[in-house]
Amino acid sequence: MKRIYQILIILTVLTLIPFYGNSQCKSFAKKVCKSELSPYIHDGNFNAAILTEGEDAELYKTFYAGQNYRIYICGSDALPDIEFQVLDVNRNVLYDNRKKDYSRVWDFKLESSQQLIISLRVKNSEEESDELVSGCVAIMFGIKENAE
């Protein structure tokens, strides 16, 4: 019976670890990344996940015509460069930070409302190591009042 309790405790801990890591990541986004949107106003969503070098992630988001937006990609210091592209629904590239020295910010305004895809990839580290580096990566969105 004691063995069953030990197994249940271990399973419970293993089940909670991903939730703890994800909440840590969202906390990182709130405390570290949000301030980097200024003077844009944060949209209120915290899109963050733990990624390992070489991993990809995509996020779909609707943007509205005539609005000024900022996308800010924020990652843990331990991670290598983070590549990000913004694509339309036909997967045409609208922005690629590799052409901008891996800039983590893109400010833009759309002519028409549309859903865009934000595609991320954590580059592989140039240093040789037996272990892959993991860390929090957040995609932050800001909106700026129109100055028209």
CATH number at residue 121: 2.60.120.380
Q: Please give the backbone phi and psi of residue 72, each rounded to the nearest 5 degrees, phi first.
A: -125, 125
Range of the domain at 6: 2-144
- Whole-model pTM: value is 0.79
Asked if residue 148 has pLDDT above 90, the reply is: no
Which of 11-15, 59-63, 130-134 has the lowest average pLDDT? Answer: 11-15
Which string of b and e fits 92-121 if b means at least 16 CB within 10 Å?
eeebebeeeeeebbbeeebeeeeebbbbbb
Which two tokens mark 66? 């005539």
* Digit-coded pLDDT (tens) for 100-115: 999 999 999 999 999 9
- Using CB atoms within 10 Å of the CB of residue 16, give its burial: 0 to 12 exposed, 13 to 18 middle, 19+ buried: exposed
> Domain total for the chain?
1
Confidence class of residue 98 from pLDDT cuts 50, 70 and 90?
very high
Percent of the chain with pLDDT over 70: 82
More confident: 28 or 7: 28
Please name which of 69, 73, 139, 82 lies closest in space to residue 105, comparing C-alpha atoms: 73
